[in-house]
């Protein structure tokens, strides 16, 4: 089963998932690798707005990844993806239909402008939502039955990783041009509340200060050197998690990397 970790509990089965909060940077890679281990004959597609952030991590792994540098590039890319090598249109041709599509940090397209000019930027709620809905529509088409009888593409799971999703707020309408109207700027909305409605489940990563409060075996220096975390998993539309997992991240191990210790 798929997992966010090199070893640890598996995720519940689902076809679409939003992951937000302080997830560890390797979580998308571990998800892709664990998925690939279960479905070795399928491919995985990862799409990110930041080549620099992901290139080093992905270079040594056998996964397809695409770098669209703007929302317009992203929207165009997902609208022209195809597995039809005979296509005469301007398309991005995949060798096969992916079984997993991972979108990484879509908020990065918008946050710089929003933080620099909170009342005067070009983005609206639909700017983000369009990226999500076009992706869902595109891969729904790719996974639909083909024209040949009894032949169909595999189902596609979609996972969106966005650590800044809860911090991104966008207006429903664009702010009026200066001098063109006396209307006040539209109140920004929490993007996460709208995005989550399109996904089966939501996984929320966060620090867990209450974890290990009774762990008297650890001295203060050791406690400061490790991160205490939890991930809560919610079903769509529910306010209470149906699963909560706790662990600590401690530097070290034979390879010098992070060690995950489960509750």
C-alpha to C-alpha distance for 137 and 212, rounded to whole angstroms? 44
Mean pLDDT of 69-89: 74
212 secondary structure, DSSP code: T
Q: Residue ranges per domain, the chain?
A: 16-262
C-alpha to C-alpha distance for 60 and 83, rounded to whole angstroms? 24
pTM for the full predicted model = 0.82
127 secondary structure, DSSP code: H
Average of per-residue pLDDT values in the chain: 79
CATH code of 16-262, in short, is 3.40.50
C-alpha to C-alpha distance for 85 and 96, rounded to whole angstroms? 10
Backbone angle region of 179, left / alpha / beta, with phi > 0 → left and psi within -120 to 50 → alpha:
left
Give pLDDT, residue 214: 47
Mean pLDDT of 243-260: 74
| pLDDT digit string, tens, across residues 196-247 | 999 999 999 999 866 544 455 555 545 555 778 999 999 999 999 999 999 8
Count of Cβ atoms closer than 10 Å to residue 113 Cβ: 13
Give pLDDT, residue 149: 41
| pLDDT digit string, tens, across residues 137-181 | 888 887 765 434 444 445 789 999 999 999 999 999 876 655 555
């Amino acid at each position: 089963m798929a997992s966010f970790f090199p070893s640890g509990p598996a995720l519940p089965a689902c076809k679409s998932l939003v992951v937000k909060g302080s997830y560890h940077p390797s979580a998308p890679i571990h998800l892709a690798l664990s998925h690939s281990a279960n479905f070795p004959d399928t491919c995985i597609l990862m799409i990110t707005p930041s080549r620099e952030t992901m290139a080093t991590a992905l270079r040594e792994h056998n996964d397809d990844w695409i770098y669209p540098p703007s929302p317009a590039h992203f929207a165009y890319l997902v609208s022209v993806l195809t597995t039809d090598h005979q296509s005469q249109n301007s398309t991005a041709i995949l060798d096969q239909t992916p079984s997993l599509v991972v979108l990484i940090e879509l908020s990065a397209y918008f946050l710089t402008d929003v933080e620099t000019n909170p009342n005067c930027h070009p983005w609206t709620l639909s700017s983000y939502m369009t990226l999500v809905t076009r992706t869902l529509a595109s891969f729904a088409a790719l996974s639909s039955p083909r024209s040949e009888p009894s032949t169909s593409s595999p189902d596609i799971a979609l996972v969106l990783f966005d650590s800044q999703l809860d911090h991104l707020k966008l207006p429903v309408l664009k702010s009026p041009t200066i001098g063109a109207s006396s209307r006040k700027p539209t109140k920004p909305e929490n993007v996460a509340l709208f995005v989550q409605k399109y996904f089966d489940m939501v996984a929320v990563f966060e620090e867990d200060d209450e974890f290990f409060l009774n762990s008297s075996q650890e001295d203060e220096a050791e406690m400061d050197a490790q991160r205490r975390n939890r991930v809560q998993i919610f079903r769509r539309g529910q306010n209470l998690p149906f699963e909560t997992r706790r662990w600590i991240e401690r530097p070290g191990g034979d390879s010098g990397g992070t060690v995950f210790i489960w509750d």
